[in-house]
């Protein structure tokens, strides 16, 4: 059962920042443009934890966006935490493209897993969008 919106806004944000959800990723979910690729990455992780499929699709670049995600049909996932390994512009001359390397920890059917990815983002008309990602195996 998901918390009520007002209760959720006061809870710690799932992305790992020290701010409550309403002052952290909740702003981006409500429609404000994320100010950086890292902020968008954190908000997308939080969207996965909350099942916000519309937000995930809306923040995915049209050239790589799937038609649907069907998160409700996937096996139940318990998200455990997000660690940003590094982030920054892809090139010194271009602040419209960035990458974020992250590790997302989760459990599926009681088994601990991790998703380690290097994601690429692009900014169009003032909005950061997820372009694609490359899985990293340790």
Dihedral sign computed on CA atoms, order 124, 128, 129, 131: positive
**What are φ and ψ of residue 22, in 5° steps?**
-60, -25
Burial class (CB in 10 A: 0-12, 13-18, 19+), 51: middle
Residue 89 has a pLDDT of 81
pLDDT of residue 87: 93
pTM for this prediction: 0.91
With 0-12 / 13-18 / 19 or more C-beta atoms within 10 angstroms meaning exposed / middle / buried, residue 59 is: buried
- Least confident window among 13-17, 43-47, 71-75, 122-126: 71-75
pLDDT, tens digit, 9 for 90 and up, residues 2-31: 555 578 888 999 999 999 999 999 999 999
- pLDDT tens profile 94-135: 789 999 999 999 999 999 999 999 999 999 999 999 999 999
Residue with tokens 């209760």: 7
3-class DSSP state for residue 109? coil
pLDDT at 118: 97
* Structural domains of the chain sorted by starting position, each given as residue range(s) with its CATH number in brackets: 5-135 (3.10.450.50)
The pLDDT of residue 1 is above 70? no
């Amino acid at each position: 059962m998901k918390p009520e919106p007002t209760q959720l806004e006061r809870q710690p944000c799932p992305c790992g920042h020290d701010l409550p959800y309403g002052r952290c990723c909740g702003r981006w979910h409500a429609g404000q443009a994320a100010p950086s690729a890292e902020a968008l990455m954190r908000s997308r992780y939080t969207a996965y934890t909350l099942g916000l499929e519309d937000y995930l699709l809306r923040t995915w670049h049209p050239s790589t966006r799937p038609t649907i995600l069907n998160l409700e049909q996937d096996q139940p996932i318990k998200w455990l935490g997000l660690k940003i390994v590094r982030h920054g512009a892809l090139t010194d001359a271009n602040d419209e493209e960035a990458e974020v390397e992250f590790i997302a920890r989760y459990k599926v059917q009681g088994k601990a897993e991790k998703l380690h990815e290097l994601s690429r983002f692009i900014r169009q008309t003032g909005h950061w969008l997820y372009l694609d990602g490359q899985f990293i195996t340790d």
